[in-house]
Protein backbone atom coordinates (compact mmCIF):
# COMPACT_ATOMS: atom_id res chain seq x y z
CA UNK A 1 0.00 0.00 0.00
CA UNK A 2 1.13 3.52 -0.74
CA UNK A 3 0.80 4.68 2.86
CA UNK A 4 3.45 2.14 3.87
CA UNK A 5 5.81 3.37 1.21
CA UNK A 6 5.23 6.98 2.18
CA UNK A 7 5.79 6.23 5.85
CA UNK A 8 9.32 5.17 4.92
CA UNK A 9 9.99 8.59 3.41
CA UNK A 10 9.87 10.57 6.63
CA UNK A 11 13.58 11.26 6.41
CA UNK A 12 12.97 12.83 2.97
CA UNK A 13 11.02 15.69 4.49
CA UNK A 14 12.32 18.13 1.88
CA UNK A 15 11.33 15.90 -1.03
CA UNK A 16 8.87 17.48 -3.45
CA UNK A 17 5.61 15.79 -4.40
CA UNK A 18 6.91 15.12 -7.89
CA UNK A 19 10.00 13.37 -6.53
CA UNK A 20 7.86 11.31 -4.17
CA UNK A 21 5.71 10.29 -7.16
CA UNK A 22 8.81 9.20 -9.08
CA UNK A 23 9.99 7.19 -6.06
CA UNK A 24 6.63 5.40 -5.83
CA UNK A 25 6.56 4.70 -9.58
CA UNK A 26 10.05 3.20 -9.46
CA UNK A 27 9.16 1.16 -6.40
CA UNK A 28 6.19 -0.35 -8.24
CA UNK A 29 8.21 -0.88 -11.42
CA UNK A 30 10.91 -2.73 -9.47
CA UNK A 31 8.30 -5.00 -7.91
CA UNK A 32 6.82 -5.75 -11.32
CA UNK A 33 10.24 -6.27 -12.92
CA UNK A 34 11.20 -8.79 -10.23
CA UNK A 35 8.33 -11.04 -11.34
CA UNK A 36 10.43 -11.84 -14.43
CA UNK A 37 13.21 -13.65 -12.60
CA UNK A 38 12.74 -16.59 -14.98
CA UNK A 39 13.06 -14.30 -18.00
CA UNK A 40 16.32 -12.96 -16.57
CA UNK A 41 17.65 -16.49 -16.09
CA UNK A 42 16.50 -17.68 -19.52
CA UNK A 43 18.14 -14.70 -21.20
CA UNK A 44 21.50 -15.59 -19.66
CA UNK A 45 21.25 -18.95 -21.38
CA UNK A 46 19.66 -18.28 -24.74
CA UNK A 47 19.16 -14.59 -25.55
CA UNK A 48 19.45 -14.25 -29.32
CA UNK A 49 18.42 -11.02 -31.01
CA UNK A 50 16.92 -11.61 -34.45
CA UNK A 51 18.31 -8.40 -35.91
CA UNK A 52 21.70 -8.68 -34.22
CA UNK A 53 21.24 -5.52 -32.17
CA UNK A 54 20.63 -7.14 -28.79
CA UNK A 55 22.58 -9.42 -26.51
CA UNK A 56 23.63 -13.06 -26.86
CA UNK A 57 23.24 -15.67 -24.18
CA UNK A 58 25.85 -18.33 -23.46
CA UNK A 59 24.08 -20.80 -25.77
CA UNK A 60 21.99 -18.58 -28.10
CA UNK A 61 20.77 -21.48 -30.26
CA UNK A 62 19.41 -23.47 -27.34
CA UNK A 63 15.67 -23.88 -26.78
CA UNK A 64 13.96 -22.96 -23.54
CA UNK A 65 11.11 -24.93 -22.01
CA UNK A 66 9.58 -22.26 -19.74
CA UNK A 67 8.22 -23.70 -16.50
CA UNK A 68 7.00 -21.16 -13.94
CA UNK A 69 7.67 -22.24 -10.36
CA UNK A 70 7.49 -18.95 -8.45
CA UNK A 71 4.21 -17.37 -7.53
CA UNK A 72 3.74 -13.62 -7.26
CA UNK A 73 6.21 -11.97 -4.95
CA UNK A 74 8.70 -14.82 -5.34
CA UNK A 75 6.65 -17.29 -3.32
CA UNK A 76 7.38 -20.95 -3.94
CA UNK A 77 6.19 -24.18 -2.40
CA UNK A 78 7.80 -27.66 -2.60
CA UNK A 79 4.86 -29.12 -4.51
CA UNK A 80 5.37 -26.64 -7.36
CA UNK A 81 9.06 -27.50 -7.68
CA UNK A 82 8.37 -31.24 -7.53
CA UNK A 83 5.78 -30.92 -10.28
CA UNK A 84 8.05 -28.68 -12.38
CA UNK A 85 10.95 -31.16 -12.24
CA UNK A 86 8.70 -34.04 -13.24
CA UNK A 87 7.06 -32.01 -16.02
CA UNK A 88 10.41 -30.91 -17.45
CA UNK A 89 11.67 -34.48 -17.52
CA UNK A 90 8.45 -35.72 -19.14
CA UNK A 91 8.79 -33.08 -21.86
CA UNK A 92 12.28 -34.32 -22.70
CA UNK A 93 14.40 -31.52 -21.28
CA UNK A 94 18.16 -32.11 -21.59
CA UNK A 95 19.02 -29.66 -18.80
CA UNK A 96 16.98 -28.45 -15.85
CA UNK A 97 18.21 -25.10 -14.54
CA UNK A 98 17.03 -24.24 -11.03
CA UNK A 99 17.81 -20.63 -10.21
CA UNK A 100 16.31 -21.00 -6.76
CA UNK A 101 16.97 -22.60 -3.41
CA UNK A 102 16.42 -22.56 0.32
CA UNK A 103 18.25 -23.47 3.49
CA UNK A 104 15.90 -26.24 4.62
CA UNK A 105 16.11 -29.64 2.89
CA UNK A 106 12.87 -31.20 1.67
CA UNK A 107 12.56 -34.97 1.41
CA UNK A 108 9.92 -34.85 -1.33
CA UNK A 109 12.07 -32.67 -3.58
CA UNK A 110 15.07 -34.92 -2.98
CA UNK A 111 13.03 -38.01 -3.85
CA UNK A 112 11.80 -36.39 -7.07
CA UNK A 113 15.31 -35.31 -8.08
CA UNK A 114 16.71 -38.78 -7.42
CA UNK A 115 13.86 -40.47 -9.31
CA UNK A 116 14.29 -38.22 -12.34
CA UNK A 117 18.09 -38.51 -12.38
CA UNK A 118 17.91 -42.30 -12.01
CA UNK A 119 15.43 -42.58 -14.86
CA UNK A 120 17.41 -40.35 -17.20
CA UNK A 121 21.21 -40.72 -16.92
CA UNK A 122 21.79 -38.04 -19.57
CA UNK A 123 19.70 -35.33 -17.94
CA UNK A 124 21.76 -32.62 -16.21
CA UNK A 125 20.44 -30.53 -13.34
CA UNK A 126 22.08 -27.25 -12.36
CA UNK A 127 21.15 -25.17 -9.30
CA UNK A 128 22.14 -21.98 -7.51
CA UNK A 129 24.43 -22.43 -4.49
CA UNK A 130 22.58 -19.66 -2.67
CA UNK A 131 22.91 -15.98 -1.79
CA UNK A 132 23.25 -16.44 1.96
CA UNK A 133 27.05 -16.18 2.36
CA UNK A 134 26.98 -19.40 4.36
CA UNK A 135 29.26 -22.42 4.74
CA UNK A 136 26.86 -24.73 2.90
CA UNK A 137 25.03 -24.58 -0.38
CA UNK A 138 21.29 -24.22 -0.64
CA UNK A 139 18.76 -26.92 -1.41
CA UNK A 140 18.24 -28.43 -4.06
CA UNK A 141 21.82 -27.54 -5.11
CA UNK A 142 23.01 -29.73 -2.21
CA UNK A 143 21.40 -32.87 -3.64
CA UNK A 144 24.01 -35.32 -4.99
CA UNK A 145 23.97 -35.37 -8.79
CA UNK A 146 22.95 -31.70 -9.09
CA UNK A 147 25.66 -29.24 -10.19
CA UNK A 148 25.79 -26.51 -7.54
CA UNK A 149 27.13 -23.15 -8.71
CA UNK A 150 28.48 -20.24 -6.66
CA UNK A 151 29.13 -16.72 -7.92
CA UNK A 152 32.19 -14.60 -8.67
CA UNK A 153 32.44 -10.91 -9.54
CA UNK A 154 34.32 -9.17 -12.35
CA UNK A 155 37.57 -9.06 -10.35
CA UNK A 156 37.58 -12.81 -9.71
CA UNK A 157 36.58 -12.61 -6.05
CA UNK A 158 33.78 -14.56 -4.46
CA UNK A 159 30.79 -12.25 -4.35
CA UNK A 160 29.77 -11.02 -0.92
CA UNK A 161 26.55 -13.03 -1.08
CA UNK A 162 27.64 -16.35 -2.60
CA UNK A 163 27.45 -19.41 -0.36
CA UNK A 164 30.43 -21.74 -0.31
CA UNK A 165 31.87 -24.80 1.43
CA UNK A 166 30.04 -28.11 1.64
CA UNK A 167 28.39 -29.18 -1.59
CA UNK A 168 29.84 -26.48 -3.87
CA UNK A 169 30.90 -27.83 -7.28
CA UNK A 170 32.00 -24.82 -9.34
CA UNK A 171 31.63 -21.07 -9.61
CA UNK A 172 30.62 -18.80 -12.49
CA UNK A 173 30.10 -15.04 -12.92
CA UNK A 174 27.10 -13.94 -10.88
CA UNK A 175 27.50 -10.18 -10.81
CA UNK A 176 27.98 -7.76 -7.93
CA UNK A 177 26.20 -4.50 -8.58
CA UNK A 178 26.65 -2.86 -5.19
CA UNK A 179 30.43 -3.01 -5.44
CA UNK A 180 30.78 -2.30 -9.18
CA UNK A 181 28.40 0.04 -11.01
CA UNK A 182 28.55 -2.06 -14.19
CA UNK A 183 29.35 -5.32 -12.46
CA UNK A 184 26.04 -7.08 -12.97
CA UNK A 185 25.05 -9.81 -15.40
CA UNK A 186 23.42 -8.29 -18.48
CA UNK A 187 20.29 -10.14 -19.55
CA UNK A 188 16.76 -9.77 -20.89
CA UNK A 189 14.02 -8.06 -18.92
CA UNK A 190 10.33 -8.81 -19.15
CA UNK A 191 8.62 -5.44 -19.10
CA UNK A 192 9.40 -4.25 -22.62
CA UNK A 193 6.22 -5.52 -24.29
CA UNK A 194 3.94 -2.63 -25.32
CA UNK A 195 1.02 -4.18 -23.44
CA UNK A 196 2.69 -3.52 -20.11
CA UNK A 197 2.64 0.21 -20.78
CA UNK A 198 -0.88 0.52 -22.13
CA UNK A 199 -2.42 3.62 -20.62
CA UNK A 200 0.81 4.45 -18.77
CA UNK A 201 3.34 7.09 -19.76
CA UNK A 202 6.59 5.47 -20.79
CA UNK A 203 9.49 6.51 -18.52
CA UNK A 204 12.10 8.78 -20.05
CA UNK A 205 14.87 7.22 -18.01
CA UNK A 206 16.12 3.80 -16.96
CA UNK A 207 14.91 2.65 -13.54
CA UNK A 208 15.85 0.00 -11.00
CA UNK A 209 17.77 -2.82 -12.64
CA UNK A 210 16.65 -1.75 -16.11
CA UNK A 211 19.09 -0.27 -18.59
CA UNK A 212 16.40 1.25 -20.81
CA UNK A 213 13.02 2.90 -20.15
CA UNK A 214 10.94 -0.17 -21.03
CA UNK A 215 13.19 -2.62 -19.24
CA UNK A 216 14.13 -4.75 -22.24
CA UNK A 217 17.58 -5.24 -20.73
CA UNK A 218 18.51 -5.49 -17.07
CA UNK A 219 21.68 -5.82 -15.02
CA UNK A 220 21.28 -8.37 -12.24
CA UNK A 221 23.25 -10.25 -9.62
CA UNK A 222 22.97 -13.55 -7.76
CA UNK A 223 23.79 -17.23 -7.95
CA UNK A 224 20.49 -17.33 -9.85
CA UNK A 225 22.57 -16.16 -12.81
CA UNK A 226 25.80 -18.07 -12.27
CA UNK A 227 23.67 -21.24 -12.49
CA UNK A 228 22.25 -20.48 -15.98
CA UNK A 229 25.71 -19.50 -17.21
CA UNK A 230 26.75 -23.03 -16.27
CA UNK A 231 23.58 -24.47 -17.81
CA UNK A 232 24.47 -22.61 -21.00
CA UNK A 233 27.91 -24.22 -21.04
CA UNK A 234 26.29 -27.65 -20.60
CA UNK A 235 23.98 -26.80 -23.52
CA UNK A 236 27.02 -26.00 -25.69
CA UNK A 237 28.56 -29.33 -24.70
CA UNK A 238 25.40 -31.22 -25.55
CA UNK A 239 25.18 -29.34 -28.84
CA UNK A 240 28.62 -30.59 -29.82
CA UNK A 241 27.82 -34.13 -28.67
CA UNK A 242 25.83 -34.92 -31.82
CA UNK A 243 25.64 -38.66 -31.16
CA UNK A 244 24.58 -38.13 -27.55
CA UNK A 245 27.40 -40.25 -26.14
CA UNK A 246 27.92 -38.25 -22.96
CA UNK A 247 25.90 -39.05 -19.87
CA UNK A 248 25.47 -36.81 -16.83
CA UNK A 249 28.53 -38.18 -15.03
CA UNK A 250 30.69 -37.49 -18.09
CA UNK A 251 29.48 -33.90 -18.33
CA UNK A 252 29.94 -33.20 -14.62
CA UNK A 253 33.43 -34.68 -14.74
CA UNK A 254 34.35 -32.45 -17.70
CA UNK A 255 32.88 -29.34 -16.06
CA UNK A 256 34.87 -29.98 -12.88
CA UNK A 257 38.12 -31.03 -14.54
CA UNK A 258 38.25 -28.04 -16.90
CA UNK A 259 37.36 -25.53 -14.17
CA UNK A 260 40.30 -23.73 -12.60
CA UNK A 261 41.27 -21.58 -9.63
CA UNK A 262 43.50 -19.53 -11.90
CA UNK A 263 42.63 -15.80 -11.89
CA UNK A 264 40.42 -16.28 -8.84
CA UNK A 265 41.32 -14.33 -5.73
CA UNK A 266 40.26 -14.25 -2.10
CA UNK A 267 39.80 -11.37 0.28
CA UNK A 268 41.71 -11.25 3.55
CA UNK A 269 38.42 -11.70 5.40
CA UNK A 270 37.66 -14.92 3.50
CA UNK A 271 41.15 -16.27 4.16
CA UNK A 272 40.84 -15.53 7.87
CA UNK A 273 37.41 -17.14 7.99
CA UNK A 274 38.94 -20.24 6.43
CA UNK A 275 41.81 -20.25 8.93
CA UNK A 276 39.40 -20.12 11.85
CA UNK A 277 37.15 -22.82 10.44
CA UNK A 278 40.02 -25.11 9.44
CA UNK A 279 41.98 -24.61 12.64
CA UNK A 280 39.25 -24.75 15.26
CA UNK A 281 36.12 -25.77 13.41
CA UNK A 282 34.39 -22.52 14.35
CA UNK A 283 32.30 -20.50 11.93
CA UNK A 284 32.39 -16.72 12.04
CA UNK A 285 28.71 -16.37 11.14
CA UNK A 286 26.15 -17.25 13.82
CA UNK A 287 29.08 -17.80 16.19
CA UNK A 288 29.58 -20.32 17.72
CA UNK A 289 28.20 -22.81 15.21
CA UNK A 290 29.18 -26.47 15.08
CA UNK A 291 32.54 -26.24 16.86
CA UNK A 292 34.91 -29.18 16.57
CA UNK A 293 34.63 -31.87 19.22
CA UNK A 294 37.65 -32.98 21.23
CA UNK A 295 36.42 -36.56 20.95
CA UNK A 296 37.51 -36.90 17.36
CA UNK A 297 40.73 -36.31 15.52
CA UNK A 298 40.44 -33.52 12.96
CA UNK A 299 40.44 -34.49 9.31
CA UNK A 300 42.64 -32.74 6.77
CA UNK A 301 40.73 -29.70 5.48
CA UNK A 302 40.27 -28.92 1.81
CA UNK A 303 42.29 -26.06 0.34
CA UNK A 304 41.08 -22.52 0.82
CA UNK A 305 40.43 -22.26 -2.93
CA UNK A 306 38.28 -25.39 -2.95
CA UNK A 307 36.43 -24.21 0.14
CA UNK A 308 35.25 -21.03 -1.58
CA UNK A 309 35.28 -21.98 -5.27
CA UNK A 310 34.76 -25.75 -5.44
CA UNK A 311 36.59 -27.07 -8.49
CA UNK A 312 36.98 -23.51 -9.72
CA UNK A 313 35.66 -21.09 -12.33
CA UNK A 314 33.93 -22.84 -15.23
CA UNK A 315 35.74 -22.66 -18.56
CA UNK A 316 33.32 -22.88 -21.47
CA UNK A 317 35.96 -23.17 -24.18
CA UNK A 318 37.89 -25.90 -22.38
CA UNK A 319 34.74 -27.84 -21.48
CA UNK A 320 33.34 -27.80 -25.02
CA UNK A 321 36.72 -28.72 -26.53
CA UNK A 322 36.71 -31.88 -24.35
CA UNK A 323 33.57 -33.12 -26.12
CA UNK A 324 34.55 -35.41 -29.00
What is the pLDDT at residue 15? 76
pLDDT given for residue 309 in this prediction: 98
pLDDT, tens only, 93-111: 999 999 999 999 999 999 9
pLDDT at 181: 80
pLDDT lower than 50: segments of the chain: 1-4, 11, 287-288
- pLDDT at position 280: 73
Res 6: pLDDT: 52
Cα diameter, the chain: 70
Query: In this structure, are residues 146 and 230 in contact, taking their beta carbons and an 8 Å threshold?
Result: no
How many Cβ atoms are within 10 Å of 119's Cβ, its own excluded?
A: 9
Instruction: Please tell me the predicted confidence (pLDDT) of residue 179.
Output: 83
Residue in 43, 39, 75, 72 with CA at minimum distance from that of residue 59 = 43
- pLDDT value of position 294: 62
- Amino acid 292: pLDDT: 57
For the chain, how far is it from start to end, CA to CA, in angstroms? 57
Q: Is the pTM of this model over 0.85?
A: yes
Amino acid sequence: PFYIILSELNYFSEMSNSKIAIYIKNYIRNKVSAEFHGTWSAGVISANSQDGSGILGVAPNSKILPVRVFGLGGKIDPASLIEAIGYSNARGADIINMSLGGLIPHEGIAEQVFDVLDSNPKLVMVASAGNNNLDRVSFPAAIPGVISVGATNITGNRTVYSSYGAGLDVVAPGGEIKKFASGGILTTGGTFKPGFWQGINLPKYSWGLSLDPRGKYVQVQGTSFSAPITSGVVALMKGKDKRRKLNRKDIIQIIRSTASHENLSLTKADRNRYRLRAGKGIATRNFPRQPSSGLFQKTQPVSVEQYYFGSGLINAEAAVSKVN
